[in-house]
Every structure is written in structure tokens, then in C-alpha cells.
Chains A and B, each alone.
Chain A
Amino acid sequence: MKLTDTYFLTFAAMLFTIGAVGFLVRRNVLVMFMCVELMLNAVNVTFVAFSKSLNDISGQAIVFFVLVVAAAEVAVGLAIIVAIFRRRRGGATADDIDLLRG
């Protein structure tokens, strides 16, 4: 039995689906962010799988850019969450944040 890229693509598809469904069903903003990380990681697995099957190093180089975007997104997103929680005590779910006014 040989390990082909289909295994990795199937695994990545299942991981992406878990992340997407989690983002839709959870209401805690922090857990929603973790689900976004799951989806980004599924994409990274896909890039590395194609890098291996096409024997091309650029798939691995692109994962670095995904990592940078993920890090920037988490930094800004968590700062937004901290700012929101500081200004409205109590409410801890995405449904409580329904005002555009700051």
C-alpha cells in the first residue's frame, strides 16, 4: 500500500469541513477563531501534498505566506476581541456583538 496524495487531500478536506462547520455553529468568538486556524491548516496540508506529488518546492514556500497571514490575522483579531470585551462587560458570544457603533 503506497501513500498517495489522495490520502492527504481527503484528510485536508475533512479537516476543512470540521473547521467550516465549527465556525458556523459556535458562538464563542475565540473558538470561532480557532476554527479559522483549522481551515488554514487544512489548506497548508493541501499545499504540502501537492508539493510532494508534483515534486515542486514552491508549494512549501507558499505555506510560509499562509503562516504569515494567519499570524497577522490572529494578532489583529484578538486585539479586536480584547477591545470589544473591554467596552462591553459580560456578553461573551458573537450574537451579543450586533452594533456597528463602537
Chain B
Amino acid sequence: MSEVVIFFIMASIALCAALGVVLARNPVHSALLLVTVLISIAVLFIIQDAQLLAAVQVIVYAGAIVVLFLFVIMLLGVDEEESLAEPVTAQRPVAIVLGLVVLAEVLFLAGHQWATGAQQSRGSLQAGDGGNVERVARSLFTDFLWPFEVTAVLLVAAVIGSVVLARRSNKPTIDDEVETL
């Protein structure tokens, strides 16, 4: 029973904060509301026996990714409010209608028990020795060893890519080129 109460509190906080991320006109507010969403989801992970993921969620998402967002917002000085003018005709109504269609579709699927996978094909959530960390680690380093190694390549590529992109070049800016034309 207490789990249901926690679920409804945290889910409503997360949904309200997610609406805030979309509706806030200042990007700094969006980033702070994103932290609220991520921490509420970490609590939802705990009530689903995913303690390690809850910790990783707070450390990696709220700790690293959102701080990176805030760094870029501060670095670029784009924390001014954006205008509400609509450049593309009827963009917002069409987007909202599309969103409602997606929601109806996913809810239809969620209510129909379409996932009929075999239970416990790769290790149980509770049985055996050790805690949640040990079971996730065992799965990650046995069943998912090859994908795990591939993520190392992905991260190296991401690091090299961001260094190359963020490097300061001596080429003139587009604004300078437009001025000389």
C-alpha cells in the first residue's frame, strides 16, 4: 500500500516537472525541473528493486548530464527567454495532436499485456546470493559482455568527436562572411 502512495506522489511530481521542462521559457528553469524529474524517477527505480540504477540515475543524470547542460547554458549566455512567435504555421497544434495519438497508441499497447516474454530467461531479480549490484554486474559481465565492450568504443568516439567539434578554429564566422559579401 505504501508503495502505491509513493508511486502516485513521485509520478505526479515527475509529470508536473516534465510539463515544466517543456513550458518554462527560461532554459535554466528547464534544467532544474529536469533534475526534479530525474530524481523522482530514481525513487520509482527504488520501489521496483533497482537500487543500483537509482544511484546511477542520480549520479550520472542529475550529477553529470544536467550540470553539463547548465555549463553550456551559462557558457553561451542563452539564458534569455525565447519568443513565443510561431515560425511554422500551426506547428504547435499539430505537434500536440501527434503527441496525443502516440499516447493513445502506447496506452493501448500497455493495457493489453502484449509482452509475453519468457520469465527469468537471464537471471532472477531476487533469488541467489548478493544484492542488486552483484546481480546486475553478473548479467553485465557475462550475458552482455560484448555490448559492454562496444560501449567503450562508443565513448571513445564521443570523446574524440566532442573535442574535435569544440576545438577553436581560425576560420571566419558566418557573420563575418556575410559582412564581406
Asked if B129 lies at the interface with its beta carbon under 8 angstroms from chain A, I say no
Closest B residue to A82 by CB, please name it: B166
Given contacts A20-B99, A67-B60, contact A45 B75 (CB under 8 A): no
Given contacts A6-B111, A63-B53, contact A72 B15 (CB under 8 A): no
**Are the CB atoms of B174 and A87 closer together than 8 Å?**
yes
Task: List CB contacts (< 8 Å) of B23-56 with chain A.
Answer: 24, 27, 30-31, 34, 37-38, 41, 44-45, 47-50, 52-53, 56
Given contacts A18-B18, A57-B136, A68-B151, contact A52 B125 (CB under 8 A): yes
Query: Residue A57 contacts which of B34, B73, B96, B125 (CB distance < 8 angstroms)?
Result: B125
A40 nearest CB across to chain B (Å)? 9
> Majority SS of interface residues in chain B?
helix
**Are the CB atoms of B110 and A13 closer together than 8 Å?**
yes
Given contacts A61-B136, A70-B65, contact A56 B72 (CB under 8 A): no
Task: List CB contacts (< 8 Å) of A34-84 with chain B.
Answer: 34-35, 37-38, 41, 44-45, 48-52, 54-58, 60-65, 67-76, 78-83
| Interfacial chain A residues near B147, Cβ < 8 Å | 65
Number of chain B interface residues as a range: 35 or more
Q: How many residues of A contact B (CB 8 A)?
A: 76
Query: Residue B121 contacts which of A58, A71, A81 (CB distance < 8 angstroms)?
Result: A58
Query: Residue B1 contacts which of A1, A31, A69, A85 (CB distance < 8 angstroms)?
Result: A1
**Given pairs A28-B78, A52-B48, 16 additional interface contacts (CB within 8 A):** A22-B21, A24-B91, A25-B91, A44-B53, A55-B119, A56-B117, A56-B125, A57-B135, A63-B50, A65-B144, A67-B56, A72-B154, A75-B68, A76-B158, A78-B69, A79-B165
Point out residues on B near A: beta carbons under 8 Å.
Answer: 1, 3-4, 7, 11, 14-15, 18-19, 21-22, 24, 27, 30-31, 34, 37-38, 41, 44-45, 47-50, 52-53, 56-57, 60-61, 64-65, 68-69, 72-73, 75-76, 78, 80, 82, 87, 91-92, 95-96, 98-100, 102-103, 106-107, 110-111, 115, 117-126, 132, 135-136, 138-140, 143-144, 147, 151, 154-155, 157-159, 161-163, 165-166, 168, 173-175
10 intermolecular pairs with C-beta atoms under 8 Å apart: A1-B1, A6-B111, A16-B106, A21-B98, A44-B57, A57-B139, A61-B140, A65-B144, A75-B159, A82-B76
